Amino acid sequence: MTDSGPDNSLSHRLSWPALPLDAWLETHDTLRMWTQIAGKVRMALTPEMNHWWNVALYVNSRGLTTSPIPYGGGLFEIQFDFIEHFLEIHTSHGDDRAMPLEPMPVAVFYRKLMRALGELGINVAINTKPQELPDPIPFDQDERHQSYDRDAAHRFWRVLLSTHIVLSDFRARFIGKASPVHFFWGSFDLACSRFSGRRAEPPRKGVISSKAYSHEVISAGFWPGAGLGAPAFYSYTVPQPEALPEARVQPAAASWNKGLSEFIYMYEDFRREDSRWNALMDFFQSTYEAGANLANWNRAELERDYPAVRRA
C-alpha cells in the first residue's frame, strides 16, 4: 500500500507494509543486538557530540548505515543492506568486506564483524554489554538471539525509509537547533528532535539521560514497539508541561500514553488512513505545537514559513 509525498515531480511513493511485532519478534531482538555492535564501533571511533548524535545509525537507500567513520587517515562505513541482505564494510582505501545477513547467534556475528574489521586494519574495542535492555547478555556470549527473517528485516527498513522521508519534510519547517533524522540502536527507534535553545534539568539520572535531555526538546519518530507490543509513532516533550496529557492532537486515533508519558499513534491505526502522508504530518505537527505552546517556546524565532502541502 502506498501514499503520495509532497513532491509529485519526484513521484514519491511511500510504502507502509504490515509489521506486527509478534510476527518478527525474534528477528527484531537479534537485529537490535547486531545494530548495537555496529553502533558501538561508531561510538568508539567518533568524537562525542551533544545528545549522543555521534552514535546513531542512518537510513539510506539500502538499509541502515553508520555513515563514514574516521580511521587511520581515511574513512570506513558499516552498512546493513536489507535488499540483498549483506553486512558490508566499505573503506576509502578501496578494501571492502561483506558477510551474509542470515540466522546466526549474536556471538558469531560479533566475532565475524570484529574479524573483518581487523583484516582491514581497523583495531577497535567496544563495550560488549548491550544498552537499554533488561538482563543484557554480552555480545560475545549471546548464543540466544540468532534469528533473521529476510522479509521482516526488509519490511522494517521500508517503514523506516518512508518515515524518514516524512520526518525530513517535517524537520525542514524548523530553523532552530534540530537533530538529523537518525536511528538510535539502544532504544531501536527512528527519531528527529527539535530544541528550544534553553537548558533543562534531565528528568532521569544516568549518563544517557543527562546528555540526551540537557536542553528542552520535543522529539518524534517511529518505534517498532518492544515494550508496547505493537509498532507506533510517538512524540514527547522534555521537560513535560503539566497540561500536556490533556492537549488535543491529531489524528483522532492518536492519544496520550500515561505509562510512556508521550503521545502514541499506533502504526496499524495509521495504515487505515486514506491519506497517510497527511495523517502522519498532522501527528508530528500537532504534538509539536502542543508541547511548544505549553512550554512557551519562542516559535516565531524557531520556525519558518513553509508551504502547507496536502496530498490525498
Statement to judge: residues 181 and 296 lie in one domain: yes
**Residue 208 confidence (pLDDT) above 90:** no
Query: Does the residue 270 lie in any domain?
Result: yes
Domain total for the chain? 2
Query: Does the residue 66 lie in any domain?
Result: yes
Residue that terminates a domain, selected from 82, 106, 141: 141
Query: Does the residue 111 lie in any domain?
Result: yes
Statement to judge: residues 292 and 192 lie in one domain: yes
Distances (CA, A) of 56 to 31, 176, 199, 259, 307: 15, 21, 22, 26, 30
Statement to judge: residues 133 and 211 lie in one domain: no
Query: Does the residue 44 lie in any domain?
Result: yes
Reading the block at residue 246, the C-alpha cell is 490533556
Statement to judge: residues 131 and 173 lie in one domain: no
Nearest to 14 by CA among 190, 159, 148, 206: 159
Statement to judge: residues 180 and 242 lie in one domain: yes
Statement to judge: residues 114 and 174 lie in one domain: no
* pLDDT, position 8: 46
Statement to judge: residues 180 and 106 lie in one domain: no
**Residue 286 confidence (pLDDT) above 50:** yes
Which residue would you say has higher pLDDT here, 141 or 204? 141
Nearest to 113 by CA among 39, 21, 194: 39
Give yes or no for a contact between 239 and 203, defined as CB atoms under 8 angstroms apart: yes
Nearest to 247 by CA among 213, 200, 288, 203: 288
- Residue 138 main-chain phi, psi, to 5 deg: -55, 145
Statement to judge: residues 76 and 129 lie in one domain: yes
Statement to judge: residues 33 and 120 lie in one domain: yes
Statement to judge: residues 203 and 297 lie in one domain: yes
Residue that terminates a domain, selected from 83, 111, 141: 141
Average pLDDT over residues 202-216: 72
Strand order in the sheet with 189-199: 182-184, 189-199, 215-223, 232-238, 262-266, 255-257
Tell if the pTM clears 0.85, that is, is over it: yes
Residue 127 domain boundaries = 24-141
Query: Does the residue 235 lie in any domain?
Result: yes
Query: Does the residue 15 lie in any domain?
Result: no
Q: What percent of the chain has pLDDT over 90?
A: 84
Q: CA-to-CA distance for 37 and 185, rounded, in angstroms?
A: 9
Lowest mean pLDDT among 70-84, 99-113, 203-217: 203-217
Statement to judge: residues 46 and 77 lie in one domain: yes
Q: CA-to-CA distance for 24 and 15, rounded, in angstroms?
A: 18
* Burial (CB count within 10 angstroms: exposed 0-12, middle 13-18, buried 19+), residue 176: middle
**CA geometry: angle 279, 12, 282, nearest 5 deg:** 15
Give yes or no for a contact between 167 and 181, defined as CB atoms under 8 angstroms apart: yes
Query: Does the residue 5 lie in any domain?
Result: no
**Residue 9 confidence (pLDDT) above 50:** no
* pLDDT, position 10: 36
pLDDT digits (tens, 9 = 90+) for 232-242: 999 999 999 99
Query: Does the residue 6 lie in any domain?
Result: no
pLDDT digits (tens, 9 = 90+) for 16-73: 999 999 999 999 999 999 999 999 999 999 988 787 889 999 999 999 999 999 999 9
Statement to judge: residues 209 and 291 lie in one domain: yes
Lowest mean pLDDT among 20-34, 204-218, 270-284: 204-218
